[in-house]
C-alpha cells in the first residue's frame, strides 16, 4: 500500500509526518554509489566522489549514512572502551603502550559490546514501535513505549518476563517483537545498577520515573549512553531534547542524569542534518539553559570546548578537567572534547576511551557523535568486522531508516516485528 493510500488515524499529525518525510527524502537524494567510496585518509573522513572532470571531491554523508554511523560507531566505541572501563590511565599505558587502546586485537578489546549498546538498541526499537503505533492508531506519548522496550532489556539481563515486564507482562507469558528473538542480546555485560534497579522498581508496580517524580537522585551516565537514537524522533530539535530528557528520567532522576541525555540527542540531531559540532553546541546552549538544573552540564560542556581550544591534552589532564565520565555530564563532555580536538572518527574514538574512567560509555557517546558527523563509511572496516552483533545492530538501524523514512512499511510482518505498544 502506498503511503498516499494509507488512512491516517484520528490524532495522527499528517503535518508532522509530511515534514519528516520531506526531510528524509532530501537527505536520501545522494546516489548510493557516491556513498560507498573509500575514505580519504587525509583531512576528513568523507567518502570521495569524482566530478565530471575526474577531480576528486569529498561527498558529505547522507542522512542514512549518518544514522547508520551513529549507531554502529557508538557500538564500536563501546567495544573499544569495554576492556579498560575500570583501568586508570597509567595501567592502560602499561598494558597497551603509550597510545593506549588503538583498535581491536588479541592483546586488546575484541569487539565485545556492553550494556551501553544493548540499551541504545532498545531505545531505538522502542522509538520504532512508538512510531508504528502513531502511524496506525493514535499518536501519543512515546515515553511509555520506550519504557516497555527497557523492560524487555531488563528481561535480557536474566529476569523472567513476569518479573521484568511489569504492566506490560499482564496476560503475556513472553515479550513480543523481533529484537527479542536476537539471542545474542541475552548477555549481562556489567549492566548499570541504577538502570536495573529503576526498571525493577517499575516492574514491581511503582510509577514510571519522570522529571516531576524522580525515581532516584542518580546522575550516572546510564541515561546519556543510550540516548542517541532519540534524535530520530522529530525534525524539531527541541522536541528531541525534551524526549531525550524524559526517556532518561525513566531511570535517572538527577538533572545531570537526564539533561546530558537530552543534550546528546540534540547534538546528534544537528549532526545528522550536516550541522557542524561547534554550531550544534552553540544552538544547544540556550536550549539547555532554559531547563532547571542545567548548570553542571553547561559548565562541563564549556570546559570541554575550552580544553579543545588548547589541543590534545594528557589523559591525566583530561580527568582533572572533565572527570572520569561516570556521571552523565562528564561522559558527554569527554565525548565532545574528543570530537572537537580531532578530525577523524578513529582518532576521536581513541581519545574518548583512553582515560581513567568509564571508557566504554565515553567511547559509546563519542561514537554516536562521530558516526553522525562522519557517516558509516568512516568506521574502519576491520573494526566493523570484529564488532559483536553487527548484523543485529545494522538490521535494527536499517529498520529505523525504513520506519522514519518516506515510505514506512505497513505490512503485517512489519507490525509483528515492531508491535506498536
Smaller CB distance to Mg ion: residue 64 or 75? 75
Nearer to Mg ion, 77 or 375 (CB): 77
Closest distance to Mg ion from the beta carbon of 116 (Å): 4
Query: Shortest gap between Cβ of 392 and Mg ion (angstroms)?
Result: 17
Identify which of residues 114 and 344 has a Cβ nearer to Mg ion in the complex.
114
Q: Looking at the DSSP assignment, which residues form a beta bridge with residue 344?
A: none
Q: How far is 233 from 239, CA to CA, in rounded Å?
A: 8
Helix axes of 63-82 and 359-374: crossing angle, nearest 10 degrees: 160
Is residue 363 within 8 Å of residue 78, measured between CB atoms?
yes
- Residue 102 C-alpha cell reads as 588503538
| Cβ distance to Mg ion smaller for residue 115 or 329 | 115
Instruction: For residues 146 and 122, give the distance between their C-alpha atoms in angstroms, rounded to a whole number.
Output: 8
Across the chain, how many H-helices and E-strands are there? 18, 2
Closest to Mg ion by CB, 65 or 116: 116
CB of residue 84 vs Mg ion: minimum separation in angstroms? 12
Residue 325: partners with Cβ closer than 8 Å, 6 or more residues away: 221, 331, 334, 355, 357, 358, 359, 361, 362
For the bound state, the minimum distance from the C-beta of residue 219 to Mg ion, rounded and expressed in Å, comes to 16
Which three cell numbers, joined as nine digits, stand for 54?
575526474
With H, G, I as helix, E, B as strand and everything else as coil, classify residue 357.
coil
What is 344-368 written as a DSSP string? SHHHHHHHHHSSSS-HHHHHHHHHH
- Taking the complex as a whole, the smallest distance from the CB of residue 212 to Mg ion amounts, in Å, to 28
Closer CB to Mg ion, residue 116 or residue 134? 116
Q: Which residue has the cell 531505545?
A: 123
Residues that bind Mg ion (CB under 5 A): 114-116, 360
Tell me the residue number closest to Mg ion, measured at CB: 114
> CB 171 → Mg ion: shortest distance, Å?
33
Distance CA 38, CA 46 (A): 9
Amino acid at each position: 500500500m502506498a503511503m498516499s493510500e494509507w488512512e491516517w488515524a484520528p490524532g495522527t499529525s499528517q503535518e508532522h509526518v509530511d515534514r519528516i518525510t520531506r526531510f528524509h527524502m532530501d537527505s536520501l537524494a545522494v546516489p548510493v554509489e557516491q556513498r560507498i567510496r573509500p575514505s580519504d585518509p587525509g583531512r576528513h573522513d568523507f567518502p570521495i566522489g569524482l566530478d565530471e572532470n575526474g577531480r576528486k571531491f569529498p561527498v558529505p554523508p547522507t542522512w542514512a549514512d549518518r544514522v547508520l554511523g551513529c549507531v554502529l560507531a557508538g557500538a564500536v566505541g563501546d567495544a573499544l572502551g569495554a576492556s579498560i572501563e575500570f583501568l586508570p590511565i597509567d595501567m592502560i599505558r602499561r598494558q597497551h603502550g603509550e597510545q593506549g587502546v588503538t583498535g581491536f586485537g588479541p592483546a586488546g578489546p575484541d569487539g565485545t559490546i556492553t550494556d551501553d549498546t544493548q540499551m541504545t538498541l532498545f531505545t531505538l526499537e522502542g522509538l520504532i514501535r512508538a512510531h508504528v503505533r502513531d502511524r496506525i492508531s493514535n499518536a501519543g506519548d512515546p515515553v511509555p513505549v520506550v519504557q516497555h522496550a527497557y523492560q524487555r532489556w531488563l528481561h535480557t539481563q536474566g529476569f523472567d518476563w513476569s518479573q521484568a515486564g511489569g504492566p506490560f507482562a499482564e496476560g503475556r507469558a513472553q515479550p513480543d517483537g523481533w529484537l527479542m528473538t536476537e539471542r545474542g542480546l541475552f548477555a549481562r555485560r556489567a549492566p548499570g545498577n541504577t538502570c536495573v534497579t529503576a526498571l525493577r522498581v517499575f516492574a514491581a508496580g511503582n510509577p514510571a520515573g519522570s522529571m516531576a517524580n524522580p525515581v532516584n537522585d542518580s546522575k550516572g551516565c546510564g541515561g546519556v549512553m543510550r540516548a542517541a537514537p532519540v534524535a530520530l524522533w522529530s525534525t524539531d530539535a527541541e522536541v528531541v531534547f525534551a524526549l531525550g530528557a524524559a526517556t532518561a528520567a525513566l531511570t535517572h532522576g538527577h538533572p545531570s542524569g537526564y539533561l546530558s541525555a537530552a543534550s546528546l540527542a540534540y547534538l546528534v540531531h544537528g549532526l545528522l542534518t550536516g550541522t557542524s559540532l561547534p554550531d550544534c553546541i552553540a544552538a544547544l546552549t540556550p536550549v539547555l539553559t532554559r531547563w532547571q538544573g542545567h548548570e553542571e552540564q553547561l559548565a562541563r560542556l564549556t570546559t570541554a570546548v575550552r580544553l579543545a581550544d588548547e589541543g590534545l591534552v594528557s589523559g591525566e589532564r583530561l580527568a582533572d578537567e572533565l572527570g572520569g565520565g561516570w556521571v552523565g555530564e562528564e561522559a558527554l563532555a569527554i565525548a565532545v572534547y574528543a570530537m572537537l580536538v580531532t578530525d577523524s572518527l578513529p582518532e576521536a574514538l581513541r581519545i574518548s576511551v583512553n582515560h581513567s574512567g568509564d571508557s566504554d560509555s565515553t567511547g559509546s557517546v563519542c561514537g554516536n557523535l562521530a558516526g553522525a558527523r562522519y557517516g558509516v563509511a568512516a568506521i574502519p572496516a576491520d573494526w566493523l568486522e570484529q564488532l559483536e552483533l553487527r548484523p543485529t545492530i545494522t538490521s535494527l538501524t536499517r529498520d529505523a531508516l525504513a520506519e522514519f523514512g518516506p515510505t514506512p512499511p505497513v505490512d503485517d510482518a512489519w507490525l509483528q516485528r515492531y508491535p506498536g505498544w
